Amino acid sequence: EAGVTQFPSHSVIEKGQTVTLRCDPISGHDNLYWYRRVMGKEIKFLLHFVKESKQDESGMPNNRFLAERTGGTYSTLKVQPAELEDSGVYFCASSPRQGLGEQYFGPGTRLTVT
C-alpha cells in the first residue's frame, strides 16, 4: 500500500510568487490534514478535510492560503502571494477515521521563500 505522497519535495520561490503544494493521501482515507513546521517552532495544525469538505480550517494563517480537495482525493495548498514567513515544511497526513484515528504523514514539502 502506497503511503502519503507530497509534491514537490522542495520549492524555492521569491516573495510575492505563488506556490501550490500537492498531497496524495492513502487511498480510501477520508480524512486529510495539513500541518506546517516553521524552523525552530512546533508543528502547527493548518486544516482538516473530511472527503472534500473542510472540517476545520482554524489553523490557516491568513487568506493567502487556500486549500482544496476536489473529489475527496488529493489536496492542494496554494500560497498566494508568498511571504518570507511562509517558509517551512508543510506536512500532509491522512487517516481512515475521525477522532483519534492514526494519522499517516507524508515526507513533507520544504518551502523556502526568498
- φ, ψ dihedrals at 42, nearest 5°: -75, 160
C-beta closer to other proteins: residue 88 or 106: 106
CA 7: distance to chain centroid? 10
| C-alpha to C-alpha distance for 65 and 18, rounded to whole angstroms | 10
Site residues for other proteins, 50-79, by CB under 8 A, read 55-56, 58-59
Instruction: Choose, by CB under 8 A, the member of 1, 27, 39, 41 that binds other proteins.
Output: 41
Residue ranges with strand state E in the chain:
5-7, 10-13, 19-24, 31-37, 43-50, 53-56, 65-68, 75-79, 88-95, 104-105, 109-113
Q: In this complex, which beta carbon is closest to other proteins, that of residue 11 or of residue 103?
A: 103
Residues touching other proteins: how many (CB under 8 A)?
A: 22
Residues 30 and 104: their CA atoms lie apart, in Å, by 12
Task: Note whether 1 binds other proteins by CB under 8 A.
Answer: no
Nearest approach in angstroms of CB 15 to other proteins is 25
Under rule CB under 8 A, which residues in 73-112 are in contact with other proteins? 91, 93, 98-100, 102-103, 105-108
Query: Which positions lie near other proteins, rule CB under 8 A?
Result: 4, 41-45, 48, 55-56, 58-59, 91, 93, 98-100, 102-103, 105-108
